[in-house]
Amino acid sequence: MKFQRRFGNRKKANPKKGLILVILLALVLFLWFNAENLIGRFL
- 1-43: pLDDT as tens digits: 455 555 555 556 567 888 899 999 999 999 888 888 878 887 7
Predicted local confidence at residue 25, as pLDDT:
94
State which H helix or E strand residue 4 sits in: helix 2-42
CA distances from 40 to 34, 35, 36, 43 (A): 10, 8, 6, 5
Give the domain range for residue 21: 1-43
Residues 6+ apart with CB under 8 A from 31: 38
Q: Give the count of domains, the chain.
A: 1
* CA 33 to chain CA centroid, nearest Å: 17
